[in-house]
Structure 1
Amino acid sequence: MLSLPAGVRACLFDLDGVLTPTAAVHAAAWKETFDDFLRQRAARGGEEFRAFDPVADYDEYVDGKPRVDGTRSFLASRDITLPEGQPDDPPSRDTIQGLSARKDEAFSRRLGDGVQPYEGSLRYLRAARDAGLRRAVVSSSKHCAAVVAAAGIDDLLEVRVDGIVAERERLRGKPTPDTYLCAARMLGVEPEAAAVFEDALAGVAAGRAGGFGYVVGVDRVGQADALRAHGGDTVVRDLAELLDRPESGTGR
């Protein structure tokens, strides 16, 4: 019924882009942050302004990563070096930490408009619960708890590993598998008995690197081939497709 290998006993879900459509909110917040910074930098240096691409740049440099890592990664792609700064740098400061705080501020402002889970993901979560599978959400965002609550799916998830937990436990961000491995431990299952559900290239790579039993790529933006290349065992456009597949010998 769930289209998973018979040995899988737990489902580990990314949040943004898998359970909720907040990936688009994140992309818009990153674009606002970087475009403002790049526009001012270009004006000061007499250079051409080149905007942040909310699809290509987002997927390649920031999606699935801790916020400061995303900031650092994108700036490096433009050969821009900024001082690291301090974690409490204000959003107005042009440091890695300051730009990261600016993005966080932009995202929080947009989050107030509300969050609705993907209908197919809601169906899949309920089916996984009814089938007796353990369930966790794994996200690099420190807003994970607020998004899950706003989407009304907190009762369907047993464990949360987010940016707050990662910082406390000193877990490395995706594409390393640390956060997913932590979620599996918290659920009491071995990696090979867990399935990872990811829409980010870095997240799919993390699932493959962690030796998980099954990696499902969720293609919301037309990157199915890239998701497979980074380690997806299967790729779907929506989790409902897994429920609607005909029964086979390899699925539940």
Structure 2
Amino acid sequence: MTDLGLPATILACLFDLDGVVTRTAAVHAAAWKETFDAFLRARDGDGFRPFDAHTDYDEYVDGLPRADGVRSFLASRGIELPDGDPGDPPDAPTVHGVGNRKNALVLEKIRTGGVEAYEGTIRYVGAARAQGLRTALVSSSANAHDVLRAIGAEDLFDVRIDGVVAAARALPGKPNPDTFLAAAADLGVTPERAAVFEDALAGMDAGRSGHFGYVVGLDRVGQADALYAHGADIVVRDLAELGAGATGAGERS
């Protein structure tokens, strides 16, 4: 697997969606900011402390299932809401209500702004498949199928474990490794024969705790040190860098 930059033992590649396959992480961060700022402004008035689309998003929200992201960020501000029900309207003062408000915003942003893929990742997935490796998409997003269809990438993945599948199977989300473990099992490989590709710190935690054979961190926002600290074996800025003679890649010593 020299030209893919993976150990020879790897038989399958498990890819996150937002920030790895598509440039939608920034869209999600913007939707979270709009949602949380409106909530905090209504609660605290004009003196509220805004949601930071970089530090707050990376630390409390990125990679988590939607409801967990709501709970995580609000807990960081000492706020607790009742869970409510998954079908709560977007204006409901519940965890699911806030999450549904965010989901409505992100879908509108995707509809109006479209979805853009990371071409380096698309080429890498194609190269991996050409060498006989199996591929899976692992995402907490309930909209993953629509996003893949929008970029014409449905056929690039043998298995998809997304928010819909995770809910149906009662799989806990990242930082738990369960969704990645399910993808590996569906592909017919053990965790040590699979590589995880993630940009979120929660995804690194999942790769490490799941004892996967190789964990690749995608540093899209300048957090290489944190990705290593959370379990990355190697960190690159883009998958085009991964492989023989790649520049910008640094493997953990």
TM-score by length of 1: 0.95
Partner of 1:186, secondary structure, is helix
Per the alignment, residue 9 of structure 2 pairs with 7
Residue 100, structure 1, aligned to residue 99, structure 2: yes
CA contact (8 A) 1:3 1:245 kept: no
Aligned-partner residue type, residue 77 of structure 1: S
Residue 57, structure 1, aligned to residue 56, structure 2: yes
The alpha carbon displacement at 1:126 in A equals 1.0
Tell me how far apart the structure 2 counterparts of residues 86 and 18 of structure 1 sit (CA, whole Å): 31
The alpha carbon displacement at 1:84 in A equals 1.4
Per the alignment, residue 40 of structure 1 pairs with 42
Deviations 1:150-202 (A, max 9, x none): 11111111110000010000001101100000000000000000000000000
Per the alignment, residue 216 of structure 1 pairs with 216
Per the alignment, residue 233 of structure 1 pairs with 233
Name stretches of at least 5 consecutive residues in structure 1 with no aligned partner. Answer: none
Deviates more, 1:54-63 or 1:108-117: 108-117
Cα RMSD, aligned residues only: 1.2
Identity %: 62
The alpha carbon displacement at 1:244 in A equals 5.4
Per the alignment, residue 23 of structure 2 pairs with 21
The alpha carbon displacement at 1:207 in A equals 0.4
CA contact (8 A) 2:6 2:243 kept: no
Aligned pair count reads 244
Tell me how far apart the structure 2 counterparts of residues 190 and 2 of structure 1 sit (CA, whole Å): 20
Per the alignment, residue 137 of structure 2 pairs with 137
CA contact (8 A) 1:139 1:161 kept: yes
CA contact (8 A) 2:184 2:191 kept: yes
CA contact (8 A) 1:124 1:243 kept: no
Partner of 1:11, secondary structure, is strand
Tell me how far apart the structure 2 counterparts of residues 179 and 104 of structure 1 sit (CA, whole Å): 21
Partner of 1:5, secondary structure, is coil
Partner of 2:195, secondary structure, is strand
Partner of 1:52, secondary structure, is coil
Partner of 2:165, secondary structure, is helix
Aligned-partner residue type, residue 76 of structure 2: S
Per the alignment, residue 119 of structure 2 pairs with 119
Deviates more, 1:68-77 or 1:118-127: 118-127
Tell me how far apart the structure 1 counterparts of residues 116 and 82 of structure 2 sit (CA, whole Å): 37
Per the alignment, residue 153 of structure 2 pairs with 153
The alpha carbon displacement at 1:245 in A equals 2.7
CA contact (8 A) 1:10 1:194 kept: yes
CA contact (8 A) 1:172 1:179 kept: yes
Q: Which runs of 4+ in 1 moved over 6 A?
A: none
The alpha carbon displacement at 1:147 in A equals 0.7
Tell me how far apart the structure 1 counterparts of residues 236 and 40 of structure 2 sit (CA, whole Å): 35
Name stretches of at least 5 consecutive residues in structure 2 with no aligned partner. Answer: none
Deviations 1:78-124 (A, max 9, x none): 00111211111100111111001100100110111211210111110
CA contact (8 A) 2:23 2:117 kept: yes
User: More relative contact order in 1 or in 2 (CA 8 Å, sep 6+)?
Assistant: 1
CA contact (8 A) 2:66 2:99 kept: yes
CA contact (8 A) 1:13 1:198 kept: yes
TM-score by length of 2: 0.94
Aligned-partner residue type, residue 75 of structure 2: A
Deviations 1:38-84 (A, max 9, x none): 111112xxx72110000100011111000000000000000011121
